[in-house]
Structure 1
């Protein structure tokens, strides 16, 4: 059950970040990165084991990759502009930092 919860929560964070990153540049971009970082800090506190954080990050990554890929209607939610590339890279770095800081002795 925790596996499903963490996966859905990671997908929700990815969806919200995807919708926010192009909203009101640069404020939406900054809010999406902060949301990603804080969301994964919450996942780290709620689900203590690292495996749940990894499943949540995998679902976040799946949502972000899917949003950046054209599909049947040629709609792309994460475009290949500066903010789209920075969101994909910065969000992944924010996830890594949140996961490492949750395991660190110096919180």
Structure 2
């Protein structure tokens, strides 16, 4: 159950960031990146597991990769502009740093 919660929560954070990163510059991108950092910290501390943190990252990545690719109607939700690149690459960097620096109590 906790694995499903981690993946779904990662997808929800990815969805909110996808919809928010281009709105109200520069606050939209800042709030999106802050949500990524806080979401990863919440999952890690809630389940005390790096495995759940990895599944959070996987859920976020699946949604962000799908949102940045061409859809059926030709729409792209994460464009290749400054905010889109900051969200995709900055979010990936934040998640990598968060995952590599995490310490789980034994």
- TM above 0.5, yes or no, is yes
Within 5 Å, which residues of 2 pair with 1:1-107?
1-103=1-103
Q: Structure 2 regions of 5+ residues with no counterpart?
A: none
List structure 1 segments (4+ residues) > 4 angstroms apart after TM superposition: none
Q: Is the 8 A contact 1:41 1:99 kept in 2?
A: no
Q: Is the 8 A contact 2:14 2:60 kept in 1?
A: yes
Q: Structure 1 regions of 5+ residues with no counterpart?
A: none
Structure 1 residue 99: deviation in Å? 2.3
TM-score normalised according to structure 2 size: 0.92
Q: Is the 8 A contact 1:37 1:95 kept in 2?
A: yes
Within 2, Cα distance between the matches of 1:6 and 1:57? 9
Within 2, Cα distance between the matches of 1:18 and 1:98? 20
